[in-house]
Structure 1
């Protein structure tokens, strides 16, 4: 066992018996331990497109928006980290080469003062096709490289979160869809339910469809959800079978 892994075990043990949400506590502890100021997001995803995921924490002023944008757009550093099964360390969101996999996220993130992002995936198992796992993402309001010390701190906390999740039951699809939605986003719950009922879709499929339409129309996810619930959008057909397949 490496020194870093020993630190992860110590961190995990510290929060195993904690009454509070362990994911949130790990995120808060990570943010306090970092040498520079970052916001911290922690995501558990079943697929690389983030159609099914649980947002375990969003700590700091930038993380909530960063996490929301990734689930709304289906792109971002977390998505890339899962797809490529590797760390994604982007020092400057103004660098088009670094953000070529998520240009829309980069543009919108900068509008919310996110200037750098670093995603650290924890991927268990050898099945590359599944592309699922846990990702700890750091968001920063200024460009520049992350220090080795902060990268190690973040990795320790990501490993600790992974150890805690080993003892957690695998969530159902409904839990995965709804867990990332905070109470203020109740209208999105309603829209997902309406789409699911109207088109005989699972909640995961309904979320993916809602997100796809929001992306196509360049509309925030919550804005489109309000239009659906309010009856302003009455036609919401799923894409034709096989559409978009090569």
Structure 2
């Protein structure tokens, strides 16, 4: 039987301390609570404004980049539906995600299992999602799922409380892994804003067009974003054709 109080206490203890390191501490306690190899945290996971908070390993970072670049995957579905998504064996059928499936099997050969949990605020809203990774495939374990869901829910309130407290002080949480955001997420968000202005379209459509161009050309999303930033008018004309 899962000790709910003990799981929640471990997350609450991790939430104490330097706010700047909160996502890292939460990632570590989420990973350790369910005895996984790595964890990631992201905000606004199923939106164009997705932001990585933490990835405890290089494999986790690759997973985050892949899901953001394609707009689909376990944590995107978890954030959209508000329910956990379990992939016991990444080497098996992943037809639920026609783009993510084959790309994950090619680029995440060192990942066997992914457990994705929503960071739920209430019954209808999520802050984002957490991915828990294991290098080897795992048999379905209800206790792991229950522990992960409890820990993720506690983590969502810890993040929300810290964010609100920082906003009350008149600032923004210093949570971003700046080097990663500046090289991957930042340019993409900037390019989306430029295309929205050039084409009078939504953020969702701008990002979808950039993702399609990246996937179709075999290039990365930041590569496309940098070209948009250099000459948004030319890219707007090109994307309209």
CA-CA distance at 1:137 after TM superposition: 1.0
Moved more, 18-27 or 207-216: 207-216
Q: RMSD over aligned Cα, in angstroms?
A: 3.6
Aligned match of 1:25: 25
Distance 1:81 1:188, change over 3 A: closer
* Separation (CA, whole Å) in 2 of partners of 1:24 and 1:238: 41
CA-CA distance at 1:67 after TM superposition: 0.9
TM-score (structure 1 length as normaliser):
0.73
After superposition, the C-alpha distances for 1:79-114 in whole angstroms (9 at most, x for unaligned) are 222333322111112322xx2221321221222223
Q: Aligned pair 1:110/2:109, yes or no?
A: no
From the two aligned structures, give the one with the greater helix fraction: 2
* Separation (CA, whole Å) in 1 of partners of 2:211 and 2:227: 14
Moved more, 14-23 or 111-120: 14-23
Distance 1:6 1:182, change over 3 A: same
Gaps in structure 2 of 5+ consecutive residues? none
CA-CA distance at 1:195 after TM superposition: 2.2
* Separation (CA, whole Å) in 1 of partners of 2:47 and 2:128: 11
CA-CA distance at 1:6 after TM superposition: 5.2
CA-CA distance at 1:5 after TM superposition: 4.5
* Separation (CA, whole Å) in 2 of partners of 1:102 and 1:134: 19
Distance 1:79 1:14, change over 3 A: closer
After superposition, the C-alpha distances for 1:144-181 in whole angstroms (9 at most, x for unaligned) are 32545544443343122112133223999xx9xxx686
Q: Retained in 1: the 8 A contact 2:48–2:189?
A: no
Distance 1:9 1:33, change over 3 A: closer
After superposition, the C-alpha distances for 1:121-161 in whole angstroms (9 at most, x for unaligned) are 2434344xxx6443221123322325455444433431221
Aligned match of 1:16: 16
Query: Secondary structure of the equivalent of 1:62?
Result: helix
Runs of 4+ in 1 over 6 A off after TM superposition: none
Aligned match of 1:234: 234
Distance 1:187 1:86, change over 3 A: closer
Q: Aligned pair 1:73/2:70, yes or no?
A: yes
Aligned match of 2:137: 143
After superposition, the C-alpha distances for 1:39-88 in whole angstroms (9 at most, x for unaligned) are 21122227xx4323332211112111111111111110012223333221
Query: Secondary structure of the equivalent of 1:69?
Result: helix
Question: What number of residue pairs does the alignment pair up?
Answer: 226
Q: Aligned pair 1:100/2:95, yes or no?
A: yes
TM-score (structure 2 length as normaliser):
0.74
CA-CA distance at 1:235 after TM superposition: 3.1
Q: Aligned pair 1:64/2:58, yes or no?
A: no
Moved more, 201-210 or 7-16: 201-210
Query: Secondary structure of the equivalent of 1:21?
Result: helix
Aligned match of 2:219: 219
Aligned match of 2:154: 160
Aligned match of 1:88: 85
Q: Retained in 2: the 8 A contact 1:62–1:140?
A: no
